[in-house]
Amino acid sequence: MLEAKTIYNVLIYGVSILPITLGAFLLLFAIPKNQALKPYLLSRKALAIAYLAMGILNILKAVVMGDQLGEDSLPFNFKMANVSLIIASCQAYLFTYALIILIDPNFASLRWNKYQWCIISICSVGIISGLFLDLLIWQHIVFALFLAFYIYQLIYYTWLFLDKKKSYISKVDNYFSGQEIHWMKWIDLAFYSALVIGISALFMVVFNNMWFRNIFSLACCIFYFFFAIKYLEYPQLFYKLRPVIKPPKDDLYSKETDIQDNTLEQKLEVWIKEKRFLQQGITIKDLSRELNVKHRTVSFYINVHLQMNFKSWLLYLRQKEQQKKLKESSTQSDSHEIFARFEQLMITEQLYLMPDLQREDAAKMINTNTLYLSTAIRENTGLSFSDYLNCLRLDHARSLLADPIEKQKLISMIAIESGFKSLRTFNRAFKDRFGITPGKGKL
């Protein structure tokens, strides 16, 4: 059975060779020659340096430790902790730097980058000089200070990444209308994976153990490999996200922007009325082209005047449209139900034969109000309440006039039995409906 020491001796060289190979490839090969990809190229260089630094430092560690490599003694563990702290600190900075550049290219020019490197370099020189000069007190002081700085790095870099990510999400939501934010989920995964490795490195520095070192080294190899693969695939996504990550100068949001086009509001009203917001995958750039208005003007109007980002505004319009359709569907369904109850009541009870039947009375009989009843009748028949009753009454009168026994009655009697209050009203309604007089209807 292999001992932890033997496994570690193999892994330490694996963790050295793999990052150096990947770093050299990222730095020298398969580099897209496109000025538009400058943020990606800067990030890729930072990542390549991180890989090379990781590999070279691990080789130096192996050379310096020599025959002690793989031991599990207290002096050896302290030396390992010192060297591991240098590597972990460099990696924390470089990986954070490489990832943030992808979503905020301006991050590359921040001054604090120099301060980070300065502190890391000073602490590294302090640790290395302590190891070579064998100054135990000096080693412990520098180690404690560097360890505190490394903990600060993990906390600060996490906050910094979340802050930049929040800003990035805001930009994406103010440009795209779909789920484009998920295109960059791998950056989230990469950062949190690097954070887990960084925290694991902290535990390895404080609680050094041979088996833990083996697992940590293997995890680093897997992480470095898949991280490099995602970086090589990134240019394909960059072109889609470029308007957000590196927008043209004309598209940049400005606080001084004002509504230059007085017809923008009217244009938007027409655009909304035509329901063009239902288009899938529409961007704010597409909207500005359709309205023939500058992108930044549209963005300013939506952000400042409507107090929403582009994606939220579209979502609001779509939800409002959906609610409208649901309400119309619900109203239509209720209307059918009310009319069905009313029609059933009229047919079974023949209440239309009552000359004094009022709309209020009919509404109470079917447990609704007059407004809903009138709306239901109009939507289902196109008639008013009184016109609908007259239609039923006229149909009843015509059936009486066609009956051999009933038609012997006087027309005035038939009118009254059919629910009409006067013969004159009956005669006029009958002729309007059937084109003949009730007298001819008898024949």
Instruction: Note the pLDDT tens digit of each residue in 403-416.
Output: 777 777 788 888 88
Question: Which pLDDT value is given to residue 158?
Answer: 92
Looking at residue 442, its pLDDT comes to 67
Question: 76: left (phi > 0), else alpha (psi -120 to 50), else beta?
Answer: alpha
pLDDT of residue 159 exceeding 90, the answer is yes
Q: Count other Cβ atoms within 10 Å, centred on residue 194.
A: 22
Model confidence over 48-61: pLDDT tens digits?
Answer: 887 887 777 777 66
Question: 292-322 burial, b if ≥16 CB within 10 A, otherwise e?
Answer: ebbbbbbbbbbbeeeebbbbebbeebeeeee
Instruction: Please give the model's pTM, rounded to 2 decimal places.
Output: 0.61
Q: What is the pLDDT of residue 62?
A: 64
Distance, in Å, from the CA atom of 224 to the CA atom of 324, rounded to the nearest integer, reads 51
pLDDT at residue number 66: 53
What does the pLDDT look like over 55-90, one tens digit per residue? 777 776 666 555 554 455 555 567 777 777 887 888
Nearest Cα to 183, choosing from 130, 127, 242? Answer: 242
**CA distances in angstroms from 353 to 209, 356, 402, 420, listed in the order given:** 98, 9, 18, 8
Query: What is residue 421's DSSP assignment?
Result: S
| DSSP 8-state class, residue 363 | H
Taking the C-alpha atoms of residue 392 and residue 418, their distance in angstroms, rounded to an integer, is 9
Residue 76 and residue 13: Cα distance in Å, rounded? Answer: 18
Q: Provide the token pair at 130.
A: 């302590």
Neighbours of 40 (CB within 10 A): 23
Average pLDDT (146-173) is: 88
Which ranges in 174-245 belong to alpha helices (H)?
Answer: 185-206, 210-245
Buried b (16+ CB within 10 A) or exposed e, 107-146: bbeeeeeeebeebbeebbebbbebbeeeeeeebeebbeeb
**pLDDT given for residue 253 in this prediction:** 42
Most confident range, picked from 38-52, 270-284, 382-396: 382-396
Whole-angstrom distance, CA of residue 225 vs CA of residue 232: 11
pLDDT tens digits for range 93-122: 888 888 888 788 777 666 777 788 888 888
User: In the chain, what percentage of residues exceed pLDDT 70?
Assistant: 79
For 308, which DSSP code?
S
User: Position of tokens 């490795």?
Assistant: 197
| H/E segment holding residue 28 | helix 4-28
Residues 110 and 115: their CA atoms lie apart, in Å, by 10
pLDDT at 46: 79
User: How confident is the model over 200-240, as pLDDT tens digits?
Assistant: 888 776 666 666 666 777 777 788 788 788 777 777 777 67
Give how far the C-alpha of residue 285 lies from the chain's centroid of Cα atoms, to the nearest Å: 18
